[in-house]
Amino acid sequence: MTTVRTVLIAVRDLRASPLRNLLTALSMLVGVAAIVAVSAADQLVVSAVIAQQEQQQGRASTYEATLPLGEEQSEDALKMHEVVRGAVTDADASAALVASEPVTLRAVDGAATSFNLIQVEGDLQSVYRRPVVVGTWPRPESTLSPAVALNQEAADKLGILEVPAVLRWEVTTDRSATVVVSAILTDGQTEATAYGTWSAIAAARAEAPPLAAPRLLLTSSTVSREVLEQVVTDAAHRVGLPGPIELRRVDTVAETQQTVATARAALFVCGIAALVVAVLGILNVGLATVTERSRELVVRRAIGARRRDVAAQVIGSALLVSLLVAAVAVATVILVVLGVVPRLTSAAAITDPVTVPWPAVRDGIAAALLTGLAGALAPAVSASRLPVADALRA
């Protein structure tokens, strides 16, 4: 019997007991939906929640040290950062020095507004997931005005719709400097924030800027915290600071992944339990159906169906129901992922576009087909063993 005939017979078989098929599908749907949800949630957490955490707290394995330096010791802080960067570059690690100060900025013909200026030295993008949405930052050194980047909140406050844009920075009460907004980046903060490299800020201020409570950030997925601590302590000694300097972990990726793994395991166990129950249900209904339809099945045998044709009919029907269940589960997940998730999440927080969770689709179809197959095998064998001579028994 060809595949086309098998499919045709399976489709027609759905008409045999529509209510029973519907109930079977519903019992299967719970488990399949759980499996699909586990898979889809996993992807969403990775693409949205962890991305958001990397944006705000730092990428996986990010450590921070608050340097015991006064504002006037900015040169020491920069030197220490340079030493650390030189030491970790070959060890697949990144370092950035950040400090912040309040500044007053205003757009041309605009009112002066207070902002938090993050002073950056080093590779901020390797430490945080804060992608540039528009423009370029940091900008290569040039003779043009010093460049800063704004977050979306700051851009909105200043009415900046496109870059580059020119700003006035009230450097002191009697002096202002021109700076260029070269980029808008997404940092997930609700506070208006500007970002500038140490050299750009120094150029704007016409002097070395003070670094208030500078923080040294290090990210590495391969180097241990102890090794990084030793690197930072050695660097501190090089600039004459007392040690040791302790690093504390600031990212929450590992905790989130652990929570997700626990939740995933719990949901997975629930899903498997639901599928096992569904298999038993399908098995029960399948065996009852074979008994109920034994007359029809032996008549089919009498008029030419082979044992494997009858088995294929039973399995084909179950797989067809399974595919319908998978389609419903997958359609629901796609609807939720594409329709609901973007509405529940801040546009500034999500950095990766929400896409169809194809692994969840794959897992849902596989779970449904395996459940259907497991539930239909025994009934199929039972059906194929019905004695054909019973066709002549009234």
Partner 1 sequence: MSSSTARSASGPGEVLVAEDLGVSIDHRNGSSTRLVEGLDLVIQSGSSTAVVGRSGSGKTTLLSVLGLMRPPSAGRLYIAGRDVGTLRPSVAAGLRNELLGFVFQNYSLVEHLSVFENVALPLMYGRRATRPQVRERVERQLTAVGLREFGRRRPRSLSGGEQQRVAIARALVRGPRLVLADEPTGALDTATGTSVMKHLQEATVEAGAALIVVTHDDALADSLHRRVDLSSREAAVAL
Q: Which residue ranges make up the site for partner 1 (CB under 8 A)?
A: 1-2, 5, 8-9, 12-13, 15-17, 295-296, 299-309, 388-389, 391-394
At its nearest, how many Å lie between partner 1 and the CB of residue 12?
A: 6
At its nearest, how many Å lie between partner 1 and the CB of residue 307?
A: 6
> 81 vs 301, which CB is nearer to partner 1?
301
At its nearest, how many Å lie between partner 1 and the CB of residue 9?
A: 6
> 8 vs 161, which CB is nearer to partner 1?
8
Total residues found in the chain within this entry: 394
> 260 vs 388, which CB is nearer to partner 1?
388
How far, CA to CA in Å, does 74 sit from each of 109, 200, 268?
A: 34, 15, 52
> 17 vs 116, which CB is nearer to partner 1?
17
> 17 vs 43, which CB is nearer to partner 1?
17
At its nearest, how many Å lie between partner 1 and the CB of residue 372?
A: 20
> 24 vs 220, which CB is nearer to partner 1?
24
Cβ atoms 254, 343 nearer than 8 A: no
> 175 vs 295, which CB is nearer to partner 1?
295
Rounded to 10 degrees, the C-alpha dihedral 217/199/140/63 comes to 0
At its nearest, how many Å lie between partner 1 and the CB of residue 299?
A: 5
At its nearest, how many Å lie between partner 1 and the CB of residue 303?
A: 5
At its nearest, how many Å lie between partner 1 and the CB of residue 10?
A: 12
Cβ atoms 226, 246 nearer than 8 A: no
> 204 vs 297, which CB is nearer to partner 1?
297
